[in-house]
Amino acid sequence: MASHSASPLYVCLCFILHILTSTLAQSDNYIVYMDLSAMPKAFSGQHSWYSATLQSLSKTTTTTTNLLSSSKLLYSYNHVINGFSAILTPAELEAVKSSPGYISSIKDLPVKHDTTRSSQFLGLSPNLGAWPASKFGQDVIIGVVDTGIWPESESFLDKGMTEIPSRWKGECETGTNFSSSLCNKKLIGARFFNKGLIAKNPNITITMNSTRDIDGHGTHTSSTAAGNNVEAASYFGYASGTAGGMAPKARVAMYKALFDEGAFISDIIAAIDQAITDGVDVLSMSLGLDGVALYEDPLAIATFAAIEKNIFVSTSAGNRGPDLESLHNGIPWVLTVAAGTIDREFGATITLGNGIKVMGKSLYPGNSSLTNLPIVFMDQCQNLTQLRQVGKKIVVCEDKDGSSLSDQVDYISSAKVAGAVFISDFKDVESFFQTTFAAVFMNSKNGEIIKGYINNNSTEPKGRFEFKKTNVGIKPAPTVTSYSSRGPSQSCPYVLKPDIMAPGDFILAAWPPNLPVAAVNSKFVYSNFNLLSGTSMACPHASGVAALLKGAHPDWSPAAVRSAMMTTADTTDNTNGPIIDVGDNNEPASPLAMGAGQINPNKALDPGLIYDANKEDYVNLLCALNYTMKQIQTVTRSSAVNCSTPSLDLNYPSFIYLLNPNDTKSASKTVQFQRTVTNVGEGISTYIASVALPVKGFKVSVVPDQLVFKAKYEKQSYKLSIEGPTKMRETVVFGYLSWAEIGGNHVVKSPIVITILQDIEKKPS
């Protein structure tokens, strides 16, 4: 009789497989911070030390685990942190903590990513200002950490580009559907990072294992920052014109660390690490982490290393507005960008049977017009049975309280009517514009015209749509979008965030042609350009402007570039009134919503004075946050930290005074800020201070109130004091300090915010 018993070898292999599977199931990705000064001299470099540290785990853990020791190391970081990322079991993690040089560790975290008119709206001109002064960003290299890139897009053609700068050390990696030959003088670098993602999901299949973009986000953001000019670009006829990035002659290097299957911090900081090695000048990252301290935020730690290398970093504020303290990337050494609108609207008209045309808003990509059809008013359109009986008619729906619009759109979509008019004053109506069926959205004022026509028509009322209308010069603009996340920053509330506002609403930029941008009657439609909204779109605008400023002023530090943007930002709109906040009932926008204001590239080119800051300034801030030495060392990557002059008062181009709601000791208080400005203007100049803080009870004084500069690059200091009650009715009050040049054109403006931080007792003192 044949034996059915398993062979000893088979049993052994099954046992090993069982052990390995159990080990993997318990494992997780960790980012481990190490003290480089503790590395034994016997090691040739960090990588060999980290590898040896992991190999030594077999001495303190099971020998079976050692079978995987060679594959435990995911990344050995060279710049962003002193440390590595690895796959570790709980027992191995504890063993690592006992290793020489260990500082701290965090678990790998998942991350999510949060134009034809915007350059004109920001005042960029080929004949004067920031574009010609910087040669359109020529030879400035923008590194983008995102979902990849579609290299064949016209936005990345290298027509008119000069030779690649000789200092560039990057390369184009070959991968799935991506050849290194796809790079050129515009797209000079393309790399991808997913070791952390794969380690977290060992059985995963990466759909596009290369830098090619199958999401669209990275193609859109990179072309917004530095896309070459493309004529006759549009979104199905909307926003037609020449599409180009903020710095159309800058170079693009894409670092893909966000995949359709997911994204993890270990991969993102590996991308930043490589970007530093490759030699980028600007880093653009439309992503972030919420609710983590600076010493626990790998993005804060990685960007600290970038700033040390004189790399400017631009980040998005997040899309969780309009609530206060919803912002992420409140990192003191990066630029945090809010999203605003531009002076452009997309819409359609409905021509009534009596010949009257009524304007509405729409981004319906279907046929540009519908013939005359019967039009009927169905009130709130919430009876699906009735709607399905309407047939081939245009249905008019009314959202009376701003809460039913979403349901109405869903019901109409299910009812399969010929088209719809939605009457609503909902502040975020724009989020519904891209419908799969013919639809127009309009305010109650215009809606009354249509209702009146229907109610007063004795014969069958009719109407006809005309889509694909683009109107420019819309007022007021810009406005702060309601979705843009607000400050103060939870990770560091003592530095006012966001810093700046840039266009982020319905921005036209490049798109992969095989990815659908919309659906019409249940069929996908495609385009080489797409309209997207979010702080993800605002961030690359600022990145492109930073490239222009770096091109014109290569000697400026990242803090100087940020200061130039902030102190020259616009706080008024195109009606000469204050910029309003859609998320705050159209009240004047607070700096907690828009930062210093709307970015103005041409003014930023010549700011007059700048507020500079260096590594020591940031270290003093970290010391004042009551972090432990190990926590500070995690950020600075240096064991030699000097905390002899701790200060929460960073030399920043803005001011924020946080009131403690639990303060019962005194009825009034005085807080003092000290600032140092550097003259970057030409020749002798004198500046006079003025303060506008339109609120009773608070007194702001500036000493001295006059600054005299005798030479370029001379520094002068002043103190700003705020005296007032420790309690106030308002949640936020704000104003501005302006330094105006006597007999000159420079006005250096800084926002001042006084606010109650509700959970200040949880913040470092």
SS3 323: coil
Nearest alpha-carbon partner for 325 in 761, 756, 765: 756
* Residue 177 tokens, joined: 């559907």
Which residue in 85, 316, 484, 536 is the catalytic one?
A: 536
Nearest alpha-carbon partner for 489 in 663, 636, 320: 320
* Residue 142 tokens, joined: 């923008």
Q: What are phi and psi of 714, to 5 degrees?
A: -70, 145
Question: Is position 541 annotated as part of the catalytic site?
Answer: no
- Side-chain half-sphere CA neighbours of 281 within 13 A: 30
Residue 439, CA distances (Å) to 25, 362, 519 in order: 50, 7, 13
Nearest alpha-carbon partner for 268 in 49, 80, 512, 482: 80
Strand partners, 230: 243
The identity of residue 383, as a single letter, is N
CB count within 10 Å of CB 310 equals: 13
Residue 77, CA distances (Å) to 47, 84, 304, 537, 644 in order: 8, 6, 14, 29, 30
The two most distant CA atoms of the chain are separated, in Å, by 109
Q: Are 151 and 254 in contact (CB under 8 A)?
A: no
Which helix or strand (DSSP H or E) is residue 302 part of? helix 298-308
Residue 314, CA distances (Å) to 399, 493, 502, 679 in order: 39, 19, 12, 24
Give the C-alpha separation, 394 to 388, whole Å.
Answer: 12
Q: Are 184 and 156 in contact (CB under 8 A)?
A: yes
Nearest alpha-carbon partner for 581 in 659, 485, 473: 485
Give the C-alpha separation, 243 to 233, whole Å.
Answer: 6
Give the C-alpha separation, 250 to 226, whole Å.
Answer: 6
* Residue 761 tokens, joined: 């007792």
Nearest alpha-carbon partner for 249 in 544, 36, 511: 544
* Residue 663 tokens, joined: 């303060």
Q: Which residues contact 189 (CB under 8 A, 6 or more apart)?
A: 141, 143, 168, 170, 171, 172, 183, 251, 252, 253, 254, 255, 278
* Residue 668 tokens, joined: 């009034």
- Per-position DSSP letters for 470-497, written without gaps between them: EEES-SS--EE-SSS---S-SS-TTS--
Give the C-alpha separation, 417 to 439, whole Å.
Answer: 10
Question: Is position 220 annotated as part of the catalytic site?
Answer: no
Q: From the DSSP assignment, how many helices (H) and strands (E) are in the chain?
A: 18, 38
Q: Are 416 and 392 in contact (CB under 8 A)?
A: no
Which residue in 146, 273, 399, 581 is the catalytic one?
A: 146
Q: Are 535 and 504 in contact (CB under 8 A)?
A: yes
Nearest alpha-carbon partner for 590 in 578, 574, 602: 578
Which residue in 27, 79, 113, 217 is the catalytic one?
A: 217
Question: Is position 217 annotated as part of the catalytic site?
Answer: yes
Q: Are 250 and 547 in contact (CB under 8 A)?
A: yes
**Integer distance in angstroms from the first to the last C-alpha of the chain?**
81
Positions marked catalytic: 146, 217, 536
